[in-house]
Amino acid sequence: MSTVAQGSPWVAVRPGDDVAQLAVRMSFAHSSFLEGGGLPPVRPGGDSVRSVVLDSWRRSRSSGVDPDGFGGMLELTEPELRRYRATHPIGRIRPVVRKLLVEDASEAGLLVAISDARGRLLWVEGDAAVKDRVAGMNFVEGADWSEDRAGTNAPGTALALDHPVQIFGAEHFSRAVHEFSCTAAPVHDPLSGKVIGAIDITGGPRVAAPEVLSLIRATVVAAESELRLHLLGSPAVPDPATARLQVLGAGRPTLLLDGERIRLSPRHAEILVLLADHPEGMSADQLGMLLDESELDPVTVRAELSRVRKILGESGIGSRPYRLLMDLDSDLGDVRRALARGDAAAALRAYPGPLLPRSLAPGVAELRAELHGRVRARLLAAGDPRLLARWTSCVDGREDVAAWRAYLGSLDRNSSMYAQVETQLSLLDRKLGI
């Protein structure tokens, strides 16, 4: 028996493990963690949850990931995804990955995914039936499966730690993913050493076996060798800059810039949100009024803009007026596009929570209220009990009496759920004195 397989924290299912028992124990440990209780042993011999998994759960919780959510958020439309993939360097390894993994995966009931360095899935290929099943949890091309958006998962956690890793069943932070296991490893630019993406295999419990980790590692070695040959034989061509802002929900605001994940201060996030919402540009005085009720001094605003420019690069922000000179997509934009299409389900999937909920900036507060109102109005108009159930269970909708009434009105009066919602509505009426 391999010492590496026995002791490695990166291996999910060790030789001799009873997979069925491990699944039950892991599920119990996951529930125990979420409920705030102690973590029980889940390994034969009394070992506890793997440190790599426990640490990832803690990061996922700190990032505000919803364990009852639906995995990654869809970030790109199909035309946007096609353009992005056409220029991304990791696309050059796809023929190797297809030859070594995809062809066999299609016959074995597995999926192979290639992501960029942010965790955004660029290609998902393999068994058609499994591909249809995972679409329900948003494991689709164009979706963000970074750890801080989707929680513990093999491609996202491999990128977060820059190390190959396996995730078995209920080791995933999101309950929606518990029926699947996955193995992933990061891919590096062979010349610069920079992470450019990840390769992942997703399927049943056998995907978490040590030999699959070895297979992924071997594939990465072959892919990086192929990439080295391509880079040495081709003139360097700079990739176009890509930038994306993540400002919805309780997690810390983040800027994804050319594959790098940058944590933003609250003030810098506010500035980028407001600049993106005013493409025509603003003066320092105008921006100061939107940032603070007391109207920030223009000198202070210029100093903050100078710091933001250092993050984006000198060509990122123009002056006189101050405006963005680069395309800046955002999760806020995802929700707005879904609302513009009239797609209530997509809008709710893309809406993990309010815009910069801790911000007191008047301009941000106005945008936050507007977005909340539009999402709520679309859900009430749709009248879908599944969407209303999700809304009334989230922070924004727990005390939304109109939403609870709409939810009640969408249910069969003879159903058990009708009685539960009716009771909850009565309690809420009494609490709010309605």
177 and 93 Cβ atoms separated by less than 8 Å:
no
Question: How do beta strands 243-246 and 329-330 pair?
Answer: parallel
Taking the chain (434 residues) in consecutive chunks of 10 residues, what is each chunk's mean pLDDT?
A: 53 88 91 75 61 92 86 73 86 90 81 93 92 90 90 94 94 94 94 89 92 93 88 56 87 87 94 91 91 85 90 81 86 89 89 94 95 92 90 85 90 87 86 74
CA atoms 32, 37, 41, 47: torsion sign: positive
* β-strand partners of 111: 126, 202
Nearest to 338 by CA among 305, 367, 287, 375: 375
277 and 367 Cβ atoms separated by less than 8 Å:
yes
**Token pair recorded at residue 291:** 């940032």
**Token pair recorded at residue 292:** 């603070």
Annotate 400-419 with b (16+ C-beta within 10 A) or e (fewer). Answer: beebbbbbbebbeeeeeebe
Residue 37 has what pLDDT?
55
As a dihedral over the C-alpha atoms of residue 176, residue 179, residue 181, residue 186, rounded to 10 degrees, the angle is -20
Euclidean distance between CA atoms 271 and 364, whole angstroms: 9
Q: Name the residue type at position 383.
A: G
Q: Where are the alpha helices (DSSP H) in 8-136?
A: 19-35, 51-62, 78-87, 94-97, 103-108, 128-135
Cβ atoms within 10 Å, residue 225:
13
CA atoms 414, 415, 416, 419: torsion sign: negative
Residue 47 has what pLDDT?
57
Question: Which contiguous run of DSSP H or E holds residue 323?
Answer: strand 323-324
CA atoms 411, 412, 417, 420: torsion sign: positive
Euclidean distance between CA atoms 34 and 393, whole angstroms: 16
CATH number of 241-382: 1.10.10.10
Q: What DSSP letter does each residue of 158-190 carry, written as one string?
A: HHHHTS-EEE-GGGSSSGGGTT-EEEEEEEE-T
Choosing among 3.40.50.300, 1.10.287.950, 3.30.360.10, 3.30.450.40, the CATH entry for 3-233 is 3.30.450.40
Q: Residue ranges per domain, the chain? A: 3-233, 241-382, 383-434
Euclidean distance between CA atoms 70 and 61, whole angstroms: 15
Work out the end-to-end distance of the chain between its first and last CA atoms, rounded to an integer number of angstroms: 67
Residue 258 has what pLDDT?
79
Instruction: Give the Å distances, CA to CA, from 105 to 85, 119, 219, 220, 336.
Output: 22, 21, 13, 16, 37
Q: Name the residue type at position 186.
A: P
* 321 upstream amide cis, omega within 30 of 0: yes
* pTM score: 0.56
